[in-house]
Amino acid sequence: MNQTSVEDLPKVELELLLKAYRLMLTAKAMADTYEENKAICSKYVHSTSRGHEAIQLATAFHITHKDFLSVYYRDESILLGIGMKPYELMLQLMAKRDDPFSGGRTYYGHPSLRREGMPVIPHQSSATGMQAIPATGMAHALAYLESQQLLNLQEGRVVVCSLGDGSVTEGEVAEAFQMAVLKKLPIIYLVQDNDWGISAKGTEMRAMDAYEYAAGFKGMERIRVDGADFVESYQGMAEAFRIARQERRPVLVHAKCPLLGHHTSGVRREWYRGDNLQEHSLLDPLPKLGTYLLELGMSADELIDIAQEVKRDVQIQYEQALAAENPDPATFHLHEFVPTPVTEEKGTRTPANAEKSTMVDAALHAVDEILRQYPEALFYGQDVGGELGGVFREAALLAKKYGDDRVFNTPIQEAYIIGSTAGMSAVGAKPIVEIQFADYIWPGINQLVEELSKSCYLSMGKFPVQSLIRVPIGAYGGGGPYHSGSVESTLLNIRGIKVVYPSNAADMKGLMKAAFLDPNPVVMLEHKGLYWSKVPGTEDAKTLEPDADYVLPLGKAHVVQQASEEQMRQGNSLTVITYGMGVYWAKSASKQLAGSVEIVDLRTLNPLDYEAVEASVKRHGKVLVLTEEPLMNSFAESLAGRISRTCFTSLDAPVFTLGAENLPAVPLNVELEKMMLPNADKVLAAMTELLEY
């Protein structure tokens, strides 16, 4: 342990020691049962806590119902320690209907729990380091809500984030540690070090252990404990919780543990461990605690009786779990999203005496109004705080108006910016975050996919992630390969998130409000070339600004230009299905084809208003799907394929598509950029060919 004197250490009462011993026996009996019934229990891959029980139970005994817990896949003893029953864990092991965490949808040891009297355990992925960012986001939310007097600081809520030693080498863990010390967050990082990955030893994976590594994060308290010794672990965790609760700063606890079970049931320890198995068995925390109890006066017969009682009880619960119902297959599709409260357009879109607003100003005003109305809302990202207020001035003066706790800059950490919102949401904060350019979103994709998108579905709706992620997107005259990209097709391949793409100021404001109020993760793509309506042909992106109560539901397309009845009767009309800058290319091109072109602005790409698409296609029989993205394998091509299938009998020509050339990046030179991207002339040529088909 660290430099705490023996006299200062809390005494561990016999009653608590016996509770720990009983639960260690429970964890062992469960592991033995699974091994004895491999044909059943290894149907789905699982891990157990054998060897880690002492530190896990020591941790669990300090957690309260007001705290937040992020576990990793080996933490079944923590779950037993907070009061979960073996039966409940076995329901997850066997993917049963009444699995309390996921209803049979996710692996053993992957909890998500909201239960009175227990800590909140938000959903998380397989926890090989990725959980550190959402967990730190939880602590960040606690600190923020306490700063706004929305939570009582004196209650000393903390977050516990459990990590395996191998996961600490992940770059995302470094991002989490950096923010924890930068913001002085109340979080305990428990690192359980058994010196193994799967088949790789610690010496193969790292140059230092987690305790040594954490020394590089100034402000991180560090504690070492023998994770196989319950008393030392309990005393060490007592100090960790004291620091986090009272001093409100981060702590890393490094606990050395033996690995007595398999890494997972799918990787058998005997294949590669050799003599190491015998070495680790000598460190088993169960007999160590049993010996200590004998020294305190317990008899061997008393301990044997406890063991036999536990074994019988675990067997009964195993048989009950085995007989439990499987999930109803008809429910497989439920809980991708939770319902949004915004289902109708409300408020005034064109108020009397309103002035025209650019898209960037409409977005700024929307965020300003949200921050004013919702004290739990906060806004962060690179350069959005302080004097600059965003590289596009889209957050101008908000930090001065609302303070650095609510509007602040982050390091260059896209993973943290995105992933922290999962933790924020679980605690009750409502984050709005910004990725500076769409081309910069890639480091955050892991968090978007693994943590945000799956949370609602895998927690059976218990943990939807309320997250509004703003992303400036698209080419804008010489931005080059790192500031001009379009990424919507990649995002649309991530299930469980919504994707919005406004094309004018009024839509920007209404969709921004709806996206914030949506309890699910929403990525809002904002075209830089439309922000100020300076690009020729984009003047209509500047509109009258709606009032503060205006909301526009996601998933509602809009016909921004109609074809004439006469051209439609003559069969000389088409529809353009598009969004973003495509709306203005289509408008400009259609001036040469008076009355022949209907333009549908999708506004939201997921959920997609396909009814509006079908209706428009059936009105005209000819359709052009227009995008700024490179066309091959894009959302536009997918949509075109769907139209071809569902509207086949209404089509008078093949479905045309137009997008950027299939190149890996947008070139810097503006003439090269023009050659790559669509424009009004290219759109006009496609329209003319389609009308003449």
Is 140 in contact with 183 (CB distance < 8 Å)?
A: yes
Given strand 558-561, what is the order of strands in its sheet? 558-561, 597-601, 574-578, 623-630, 656-660
DSSP H or E segment with residue 598: strand 597-601
Q: How far apart are CA 525 and CA 473, in angstroms?
A: 6
Beta strands 604-606 and 187-193 are unpaired
**Separate counts of helices (H) and strands (E) for the chain:** 26, 19
DSSP label at residue 89 = H
- 647-674: burial string, b at 16+ Cβ within 10 Å, e else: beeebebebbbbbbeeeeebbeeeeebe
Is 192 in contact with 257 (CB distance < 8 Å)?
A: yes
Return the biggest CA–CA distance within the chain: 99
Beta strands 604-606 and 498-500 are antiparallel
The SS3 of residue 601 is strand
Q: How far apart are CA 315 and CA 29, in angstroms?
A: 8
Q: Which neighbouring-strand residues pair with 304? A: none
Is 476 in contact with 529 (CB distance < 8 Å)?
A: yes
DSSP H or E segment with residue 223: strand 221-226
Residue 219 has phi, psi (to 5 degrees) of 105, -5
- 361-371: burial string, b at 16+ Cβ within 10 Å, e else: bbbbbbbbbbb
Is 647 in contact with 641 (CB distance < 8 Å)?
A: no
Q: How far apart are CA 131 and CA 125, in angstroms?
A: 7
Q: How far apart are CA 468 and CA 517, in angstroms?
A: 9
Q: How far apart are CA 13 and CA 359, in angstroms?
A: 64
DSSP label at residue 272 = T
Options 254, 483, 527, 620, the catalytic residue: 483
Is 49 in contact with 27 (CB distance < 8 Å)?
A: yes
Tokens at 406, concatenated:
């609510």
Helices (H), 550-691: 565-569, 582-590, 610-620, 635-646, 670-676, 680-691
542 contacts: CB under 8 Å, gap ≥ 6: 356, 357, 358, 359, 504, 505, 533
Residue 656 has phi, psi (to 5 degrees) of -90, 145
Q: How far apart are CA 367 and CA 373, in angstroms?
A: 10
- The rounded Cα 351 to chain-centroid distance in angstroms is 37
Q: Which neighbouring-strand residues pair with 161? A: 70, 189
DSSP label at residue 493 = T
Looking at residue 194, its amino acid is: N
- Residue 483 is among the residues annotated as catalytic for this protein: yes
- Residues annotated catalytic, as ranges: 483
